[in-house]
Amino acid sequence: MATATIDLQALGVPEALDETELETIWERTEKTHGADASALLALGLALDAAGHHREAIRTFERALERAPDDPEVLFRLAYAHELHGDEEAALEYYGKLADRPRPHVGALVNYGLMLEDRGRYEEAAEVFRRVLAADPTHRRARMFLGDAEASLDMYYDEEQARRSDRRNAILRIPISDFELSVRARNCLNKMNIRTLGDLVVKTEEELLSYKNFGDTSLTEIKQLLAQKGLQLGMFRDGQLPSAGKGGSATARPAAAGAATAGAAAPGGEIDLEAVRARPISDLSLSVRSRNCMERLGIKTLGELADRTEAEMLAVKNFGQTSLNEVKKKLAAFGLSLRKA
């Protein structure tokens, strides 16, 4: 759609435009520029440029009534909503554009970023892939795709950690919490099995080899474990975290570089000042987080550690996922954000 330029002064649009005057402005526009959607689109752009944002959005909506499938009108409406704070409406219109066979590339990029900000990383990554399918040289889309995929990996890591925490809580449950036969209970006591974590490292053969522990007791134990989603021998090879008598789970591997993160001072202690002086690039942050560091002028780990969570979250496009990433990366160097 070719968009004309509209002179608001010529239409008699006052600087302090009252929303009730909008119908009159539309009528004047249709008389002088035609009654199609392109004239209303041009009027909406002029109104938005003049600071009449609410009136501009209403004008774009009127244009959409005239041309419900026009991609330029949909894009301008989506962008205006995003720019002026109604992100739910923006998502709706960007989504409609994304559903088209040949969507507006700029709309797809904006849509992907909004999905990513809401933690919908899989959908965001798919949107950026569509941009790259249409334009393999689109550098921003490639950068944003890497960021979304990195956030997706981080999300899966956090979910895995939550699952591990739940599993470890189960493994710490004492055997005494369950109603077992006297024979089974006595046998487990003599084998020094105190928790479910102690039990699941044993195999059927090991239990049956114990005096007075037979098939009936084995069946009883297997049924008990099945209620908790466990089975005998499942942690025997050390592939999963365990919670034995001490009740502590095996720690997950430290982040890459954590072992050498600190600078050793005389006597083997960590030289905190040397750590704080390290460049921010040592954190290997995602694209979005790096961009936020640049906007804040943060060059070293110490400068980052001097910031509070609230200060970081106030930066545009820096959300909870980026905050979690920064905290995790700083922790690998023995640092943390400043308390408010």
Q: Number of C-alpha atoms within 13 angstroms, CB side, residue 56?
A: 22
CATH 1.25.40.10 domain position(s) in the chain: 19-153
Nearest Cα to Cα of residue 108 among 83, 80, 133: 133
pLDDT of residue 150 exceeding 90, the answer is: no
**Who wins on pLDDT, 183 or 101?**
183
Q: Is 316 left (phi over 0), alpha (psi -120 to 50) or beta?
A: beta
What integer is the mean pLDDT of 255-260?
A: 37
Does the domain at residues 19-153 carry the CATH identifier 1.25.40.10? yes
Per-residue pLDDT of 115-140, as tens digits, reads: 887 888 888 888 898 888 888 888 88
- Mean pLDDT score of the chain: 78
**What is this structure's pTM?**
0.43
| Mean pLDDT within 302-324 | 86
Q: What is the mean pLDDT of residues 10-39?
A: 77
Token pair 């960007």 is found at 94
Integer angstrom CA distances of residue 160 from 44, 144, 157? 48, 24, 5
**Sign of the CA dihedral 226, 232, 238, 242?**
positive
Residue 250, pLDDT above cutoff 50 = no
- Convert the pLDDT of each residue in 288-301 to its tens digit: 788 889 888 899 99
Question: 228: which residues sit within 8 A by CB, 6+ positions away?
Answer: 170, 173, 196
pLDDT of residue 238: 45
What is the per-residue pLDDT across 233-247, written as a single tens digit (0 to 9) for each?
A: 876 554 444 333 333
pLDDT tens per residue across span 71-84: 888 888 888 888 87
CATH fold group of domain 258-331: DNA polymerase; domain 1 (1.10.150)
Residue 163 pLDDT greater than 80, yes or no: no
With a cut of 60, say whether residue 62 has pLDDT above it.
yes
How large is the C-alpha radius of gyration of the chain?
Answer: 31
Domain 172-227 fold: DNA polymerase; domain 1 (1.10.150)
pLDDT band of 39, cuts 50, 70, 90: confident
pLDDT at residue 306, as a whole number:
92
Q: What is the pLDDT of residue 298?
A: 93
Write out the DSSP string of 258-306.
GGG-SPBPGGG-B-HHHHHTSBGGGG---HHHHHHHHHHT--BHHHHHT
The two tokens of residue 23 are 């119908």
Which H, E and C letters describe 49-103, residue by residue? Answer: HCCCHHHHHHHHHHHHHHCCCCHHHHHHHHHHHHHCCCHHHHHHHHHHHHCCCCC
Judge whether 174 and 194 are in contact, CB under 8 Å: yes
Quote the pLDDT of residue 247.
37
| Encoded tokens for 139 | 């550098």
Share of the chain above pLDDT 70, in %: 83
Q: What is the pLDDT of residue 153?
A: 64
For the chain, residues classed under CATH 1.10.150.20 are: 172-227, 258-331
Question: Could you please report the per-residue DSSP string of 230-241?
Answer: --TTTTTTS-S-
